[in-house]
Chains A and B, each alone.
Chain A
Amino acid sequence: MCRLWQGAVASVIVVVLCADPSAQLTGDREQRIALFTRYLEPLRIQAGIPGLSAAITSDARIIWEGGLGFADMEARSAAAAHTPYPVASITKTFTSTLLMQCVEEGRLNLDAPIRTFTTTVPDANATVRQVLAMASDAVAGSTYRYDGDRFVALTPVVEACTGVSYRVALARQVLDRLGMADSVPGHDLDAVTDAASAAFEQTTLTRYRAVLARIAKPYVVRNRRTMLSEYPPKGINASAGLVSTVRDLARYDAAIDAHVLMSSSTQLIAWAPFRLASGREAPYALGWFVQSTVSGRAVWHYGQWPTFSSLILKLPDRGLTLILLANSDGLSSRFPLAAGDVAVSPFARAFIQAAR
């Protein structure tokens, strides 16, 4: 019954993704988005990215996808829309989804003390909401500070709410539900372990390993020299660890817009900027960055490892989303994205201009 229901949801996503092209972008903006796709290659090269995969969706339908450069430079294997990458901190948006589902089902109070679930957050008064909003530093609720390590404290919150491990919750509640068949809840599932066998069916583990066998190679680029490097930590938690493709993330994007994962009212709460104790709005909401741009609201997140980087940029007022995954830190490390302005990324800046 559950599988039938999941299949139906996945079908809805497929239908949304394959909707009538004539109903999508038209005219000047379409030309500008097409122009933007030609910016990607020179920006990729200048950013020092060996392989870049990209997808652009309009009203939940992929209008452009592709790969530039190499997923594996040694094997001369081209990057593509189906190339898997560690998405790094884009995982946080999935954590937000899981927690907001718990809230919607009445199984979690966002204003509950985080100490109920973990002792890793120093401020005893910090709430789940404040940790989710990156506002639990110093005196909880008083300041915004992007802290990926602090966000890990939300892992036991998800586990307490769902009753299963974070990775299983992610797989069941989002990945399987949306038919994200090229996504894996943790790079460490490439190893055969008892814990993995206990958590997932063998066919699922076989699929995960097949995806991970295609994962992009990790690179460090310094002074225009590209060097093969190490994969980031392979485990998964509330902060990072998901492996996915731009095509699968487009499904996720479509599901968000279709309110498959949570109701529109819950989504509004998740995307409302966190109000600090001073009354000022933080640039972060609940697991997402939010800001105003010349193309309306931007809801976004970036990811950064030393050898991988990522960006998902939604422009809800334009119905447009840009998804980028890279096998170096080139999408993120040079740009102070943690401060909350996505326009410091040249990729985002050009996309926002194209969407005007």
Chain B
Amino acid sequence: MRSRLGAVWICALLTMVPSEATAEWTVRPFFGAAVSPNHGFVDLEQASSDSKLAWGVAAGWRRRAIGVEFDVSVVPGFFDGVDDLIIEGNVTTMMGNVTWQLPKPHESSRLRAYISGGAGIVHVRLEDALDAFSSRTSLVAGNAGGGLLVRLRPRLDINADVRYFKSQYGDVDQAGFSEQFVSFTRLTGGVVLRF
């Protein structure tokens, strides 16, 4: 508990330090929703089109307008509906992205837009009540999107991010209805800590 409090204090202090314009490390925790999900797995709870909570963290490095970022997010109830036929149905994304910050509208603006895209892995973990269609599958995937950064302090921004994820098609799912794949749009908000 003390170590967590200490980490929070260190992060808070770092946001007070003036930023260096050339290169910086960033950490971006975020929280939001996966909307318009679609997939090729069995849909036992008929929830394939329902929006789901999503959260994660991205860590990266940026020099001037160009940056790279490692983005990890989880959609814990990706396959869940109102029934209890799905015991566990998570989707985890792990992406390596390139980001490009667009020029500021004017020099004094605290607002910056960026676009981002990359590739990685979508890991699907599905366990149903009868264990008939349970699956642990990793699929190669890509994502692309963009967002806005609003500078609050020299080393602290708030962030809105939207990006579309789509995996490649894998093997035919155990239920036999379709080839396995996952796609969704992730809408998140968060903060960006810059070091």
Contacts and interface: CB of A to CB of B under 8 A. Distances in A.
B133 A349 contact: yes
Given A42-B43, A45-B46, A349 B175 contact: yes
Interface in A196-219: none
A47 B177 contact: yes
Contacts of A340: none
Given A32-B130, A354-B130, A39 B175 contact: no
Contacts of A36: 130
Contacts of A32: 130
Contacts of A43: 42, 44, 175
B174 A349 contact: yes
Contacts of A39: 44, 85, 130, 132
Q: Is the interface of B mostly helix, strand, loop or mixed?
A: loop
Contacts of B132: 39, 346, 349-350, 352-354
Interface string B113-142: 000000000000000011111000000000
Interface residues of B, number: 16
Contacts of B42: 42-43, 46, 346
Contacts of B133: 346, 349-350
A114 to B, nearest CB: 35
B83 interface: yes
Contact of A350 (B45, B46, B83, B130): B130
Given A46-B43, A346-B133, A349-B133, A38 B85 contact: yes
A334 interface: yes
A335 B176 contact: yes
B176 A334 contact: yes
Given A38-B85, A39-B130, 4 more contacts: A346-B174, A346-B177, A349-B175, A352-B132
Interface of B: 42-46, 83, 85, 129-133, 174-177
